[in-house]
């Protein structure tokens, strides 16, 4: 029963994301409203059960640490990676650097497509033998 419910919402999410991705402003607005309403509910629940400030901080911290979300929720993995490799913030990068990175990514994509084609050709050749 639970697997059916999860499967239903998984398929619904895929369809919804597919359609909303064409309308990013509406997508962002709906996502923002959902997030705010979710946290409003959490906040009111904590108030209704008279959860004190310190207890809220302790329970929240423990939950975030146990689930591994603590660091990523506050600073994000991209920020950690860029710090580890000594990369500049995007706002500090010159336009030329950004364009160079884009060109490199396009070249890598092109190379990957050529490799995939060669592998496909090789597999087709092996199948004929």
Q: Does the pLDDT at position 56 exceed 80?
A: yes
User: What's the average model confidence in pLDDT over 119-126?
Assistant: 83
Cα 84 to the center of its chain, rounded Å: 20
CA distance 79 to 74: 10
Predicted confidence (pLDDT) per residue in 73-110, tens digit: 776 666 666 666 766 665 566 677 777 888 888 888 99
Task: Output DSSP code: residue 86.
Answer: T
Q: Does the pLDDT at position 37 exceed 90?
A: yes
Q: Place 44 in a pLDDT band, splitting at 50, 70 and 90.
A: very high
User: Could you give the residue ranges of the DSSP H alpha helices within 1-129?
Assistant: 2-20, 24-48, 53-67, 70-74, 77-84, 95-128
């Amino acid at each position: 029963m639970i697997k059916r419910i999860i499967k239903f919402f998984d398929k619904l999410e895929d369809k919804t994301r597919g359609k909303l991705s064409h309308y990013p402003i509406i997508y962002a607005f709906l996502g923002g409203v959902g997030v705010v309403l979710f946290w409003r509910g959490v906040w009111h629940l904590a108030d209704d059960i008279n959860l004190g400030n310190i207890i809220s901080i302790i329970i929240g911290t423990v939950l975030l640490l146990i689930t591994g979300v603590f660091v990523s929720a506050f600073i994000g993995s991209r920020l950690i990676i860029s710090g580890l490799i000594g990369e500049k913030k995007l706002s500090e990068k010159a336009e030329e650097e950004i364009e160079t990175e884009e060109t490199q990514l396009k070249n890598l994509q092109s190379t990957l497509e050529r490799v995939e084609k060669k592998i496909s050709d090789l597999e087709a050749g092996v199948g004929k033998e």
